[in-house]
Amino acid sequence: MSKEKDILASVSDISTESEFFSPVPDGYKQGKTKYVFVMGTVMSGLGKGIFSSCLAKLLQDKGLKVAPIKLEGYLNIDSGTLNPFRHGEVFVLDDGMETDMDLGTYERLLDQDLSRANFATSGQIFSSVLNKERHGDYLGRDVQMIPHVTGEVKLKLRQLAMESKADVVFVEIGGTVGDLENAYFIEAMRELAYEEGPNSCCFVALTYILEPKTLGEQKSKAAQLGIKQLMQCGVQPDIITCRASSPVNEKARQKISVYSNVPFERVISLPDSTSIYLIPSMLRDNGVDFQVLRMLKIEDRINLQKERREWGKWCDFTEKMESLNRQVTIGITGKYTTVRDSYASIINALEHAGIALGCKESIKWIDTTDITDSNVAEFLADVDGIIVPGGFGTRGAEGKIACIKYARENNLPYLGLCFGFQMAVIEFARNVCGMKKANSNELKPGCAEPVIDILPEQKKIEGLGGNMRLGGRDIELKAQTLAWKIFGKKDSVRMRFRHRYEVDPKYIKTLEDAGLVFSGKAPEQPIMQILELPSHPFFMGTQAHPCLTSRPLRPQPMFVGLLAAALQRHYTDENLPDCEKAVQSIK
Ligand code: GLN
């Protein structure tokens, strides 16, 4: 048994007599999986998730198996109950877990579906420790932050390592070093690195170099103090990534190197970038990927042929991104109109589709609170297409319905997402089927014609956390419809859901008889999931959130369809492909 293995064996002692306690999952093979820890100093919002996912992508391109995990300090069990205005969008995974928006960045960069194993909050960690305590698992012991709570964190990381069979687990710690709520995560990382032994962990500290306008030079003091704080926690960083508005000069990097025991070549400059998709190449130019491989001693696991192939594909994508020669304007109606993070996945999905079609999209945010049938034309005069995204509650709902009516009557390309799908059904019921009182029981409880009503399974549920109809579901497609065509004429397609309400099945026939086509439904239930209007250039709604599964190199067909129709509307003098042909041209 090697020396490192001895350490792990001794700390795994769970007898009440020993001070060593570090639960290790059965069958865990030490050394198989390496760990990269990413943490931030000086301030939050440095893009730890972006850095971590881009670095993970570079390793994945080299044939390594990577598994990311985000550790959040807050006590919520998941992100489902968080207000997107405060915390950015809630990102729903295929298994139904409601997570932080950073998980979206990982899924997009890695083109990988993640699961609840990739996301942990303090709420989950404490809840699990408290359950074990009640169950008697720590009998005889006082349950402490160290070793029990830190033990639970390490267990979660090692479980992920085992389940994913990853070569490298990327651990991103939310918040900033020095936050009280994250301190025990950093302590757990320190312990894990000790237990796993040399060359098994790599600590990356992101920091920020200030450049006050009045001085006109870069200042590294705040960064130095931030790193010092990390070192006071017993963690020696291996790589320091300096974020800044412009490239970080040698002098500032030298100062940080001297101060932190990190060799100069591992103090990296990472200035602001116009797109996160350009960051993998910045990291590659800095050689961060090979620094990490060397430190973890896994250079022999890489496949350079695969890397050449994958990198070639990525460069084609970024080259296209930098030569977009057409432009359309897409209106997005939304309650959180001032916070772009609330709609991160939609913005990304539009960007992916735009790059594939060689077009840049400018987004016009539309607050619908004051929109009515009589003034809607002014608000939508300069848009080439419109999206009504997901939402909850009544504010601005009537304005959204007015926008949808305008889009339907004026051949303006329309995409309705979840709430936007439901509003399209209400608009159609009112203005085409003549059901003037059509509404949603969410917006007007007890209304006369609740075409949108609560899902039967939701009626029994009490409390508002984690219990919507959540996660990935198959959608059965109706042959010959536009949805069927843009999804490659397949029988079914999988998307992610997050809702409580649905089209009340008793109205389906009336709506269909009047010309609305439900082109996608749940396989075994009468839950309508995609709608379209055949006589319109592009009028589509879905009960799902297709933006969550759009990936840079695999744009989501509904977004491609919307943009293709918007392009046709904008560039009427050119012979541009329709939605179906545009989607086909991408494959
Ligand atoms: N409020 C609607 C529902 O619960 C739509 C939800 C959403 O847009 N995510 O069904």
Q: What is the CATH classification number for the domain harbouring 92?
A: 3.40.50.300
338-344 contacts: CB < 8 A, separation 24 or more? 338/365, 339/84, 339/85, 339/88, 341/84, 341/87, 341/88, 341/89, 341/101, 342/84, 342/85, 342/88, 342/89, 343/89, 343/389, 344/88, 344/89, 344/101, 344/104
pLDDT digit string (tens) for 178-188?
Answer: 899 999 999 99
Residue whose CA is closest, atom 5 of ligand 1?
419
Q: Is 2 a member of any domain?
A: no
Q: What is the b/e burial string over 93-112, where b = at least 16 CB atoms within 10 angstroms of the residue's CB?
A: bbebbbbbbbbbbbbbbbeb
pLDDT at 383 (0 to 100): 98
Last residue of a domain, one of 264, 290, 316: 316
Residues 345 and 482 occupy one common structural domain: yes
DSSP 174: -
Q: What span, in angstroms and rounded, lies between the C-alpha atoms of 211 and 531?
A: 51
Last residue of a domain, one of 282, 300, 316: 316
Report whether residue 397 contacts ligand 1, using a CB cutoff of 6 Å: no
Q: Tell me the mean pLDDT in the region 330-338.
A: 77
- Please state, for a pLDDT cut of 70, what percent of the chain lies above it: 96
Report how far ligand 1's centroid is from the alpha carbon of 525 (Å): 18
Report whether residue 57 contacts ligand 1, using a CB cutoff of 6 Å: no
Phi and psi, residue 174, nearest 5°: -65, 165
Using an 8 Å Cβ cutoff, are 144 and 9 in contact?
no
Report how far ligand 1's centroid is from the alpha carbon of 391 (Å): 6
Q: What span, in angstroms and rounded, lies between the C-alpha atoms of 188 and 27?
A: 21
Report whether residue 391 contacts ligand 1, using a CB cutoff of 6 Å: yes
Residues 449 and 433 occupy one common structural domain: yes
| CB within 8 Å of 434: residues ≥ 6 apart | none
Count Cα neighbours of 244 within 13 Å in the Cβ-side half-sphere. Answer: 23
Q: Is 149 a member of any domain?
A: yes
Report how far ligand 1's centroid is from the alpha carbon of 335 (Å): 13
pLDDT at 1 (0 to 100): 41
Name the residue of 419, 441, 470 to mutate for ligand 1: max ligand atoms within 8 A of Cβ.
419
Residues 247 and 364 occupy one common structural domain: no
Report how far ligand 1's centroid is from the alpha carbon of 490 (Å): 27
Report whether residue 497 contacts ligand 1, using a CB cutoff of 6 Å: no
Q: List the one residue out of 399, 390, 374 whose CA is nearest residue 548.
A: 390
pLDDT digit string (tens) for 210-254?
Answer: 999 999 899 999 999 999 999 999 999 999 999 999 999 999 999
Residues 95 and 172 occupy one common structural domain: yes
pLDDT digit string (tens) for 527-543?
Answer: 999 999 999 999 999 99
pLDDT at 43 (0 to 100): 87
| CB within 8 Å of 66: residues ≥ 6 apart | 56, 59, 60, 110, 166, 167, 168, 169, 170
Residues 343 and 485 occupy one common structural domain: yes
Q: Tell me what percent of the chain is helix, strand and coil, each rounded to the nearest 5.
A: 40, 20, 40
Report how far ligand 1's centroid is from the alpha carbon of 532 (Å): 19
pLDDT digit string (tens) for 377-429?
Answer: 999 999 999 999 999 888 899 999 999 999 999 999 999 999 999 999 999 99
pLDDT at 22 (0 to 100): 85
Report how far ligand 1's centroid is from the alpha carbon of 499 (Å): 4
Instruction: Write out the two tokens for 542.
Output: 């879905």
Name the residue of 467, 500, 543 to mutate for ligand 1: max ligand atoms within 8 A of Cβ.
500
Q: What span, in angstroms and rounded, lies between the C-alpha atoms of 71 and 251?
A: 33
Q: Is 562 a member of any domain?
A: yes
Residues 516 and 418 occupy one common structural domain: yes
Report how far ligand 1's centroid is from the alpha carbon of 49 (Å): 27
Residues 451 and 422 occupy one common structural domain: yes
Strand partners, 49: none
Residue whose CA is closest, atom 8 of ligand 1?
390
Domain count, the chain: 2
Q: What is the CATH number of the domain that holds 519?
A: 3.40.50.880
| pLDDT at position 573 over 60 | yes
Report whether residue 453 contacts ligand 1, using a CB cutoff of 6 Å: no
* Ligand 1 nearest atom to the CA of residue 417, by list position: 8
pLDDT digit string (tens) for 90-108?
Answer: 999 999 999 999 999 999 9
- Please state, for a pLDDT cut of 90, what percent of the chain lies above it: 86
Q: Is 241 a member of any domain?
A: yes
The pLDDT mean for the chain works out to: 93
Residues 331 and 269 occupy one common structural domain: no
> Is the alpha carbon torsion for 361, 366, 372, 377 positive or negative?
negative
Residues 290 and 377 occupy one common structural domain: no
Last residue of a domain, one of 290, 316, 342: 316
Rg (CA), the chain: 26
Q: What span, in angstroms and rounded, lies between the C-alpha atoms of 297 and 243?
A: 27
Q: Could you count the other beta carbons within 10 Å of the beta carbon of residue 158?
A: 23
- Give me the domain span that covers residue 279: 7-316
* Ligand 1 nearest atom to the CA of residue 545, by list position: 9
Count Cα neighbours of 44 within 13 Å in the Cβ-side half-sphere. Answer: 11
Residues 271 and 331 occupy one common structural domain: no
Residue whose CA is closest, atom 7 of ligand 1?
390
> Is the alpha carbon torsion for 79, 98, 164, 240 positive or negative?
negative
pLDDT level of residue 337 (50, 70, 90 thresholds): low
> Is the alpha carbon torsion for 469, 470, 474, 480 positive or negative?
positive
| pLDDT at position 162 over 60 | yes
pLDDT digit string (tens) for 477-522?
Answer: 999 999 999 999 999 999 999 999 999 999 999 999 999 999 999 9
Walk across the sheet containing 119-121 and list its strands.
119-121, 66-72, 168-173, 34-40, 201-208, 239-244, 267-271
pLDDT level of residue 11 (50, 70, 90 thresholds): low
Q: Is 1 a member of any domain?
A: no
| CB within 8 Å of 124: residues ≥ 6 apart | 77, 78
Residues 242 and 271 occupy one common structural domain: yes
pLDDT at 328 (0 to 100): 98
pLDDT level of residue 84 (50, 70, 90 thresholds): confident
Q: Tell me the mean pLDDT in the region 101-122.
A: 97
Q: Is 74 a member of any domain?
A: yes
pLDDT at 21 (0 to 100): 81
Using an 8 Å Cβ cutoff, are 461 and 474 in contact?
no
pLDDT at 423 (0 to 100): 98
Residues 57 and 82 occupy one common structural domain: yes
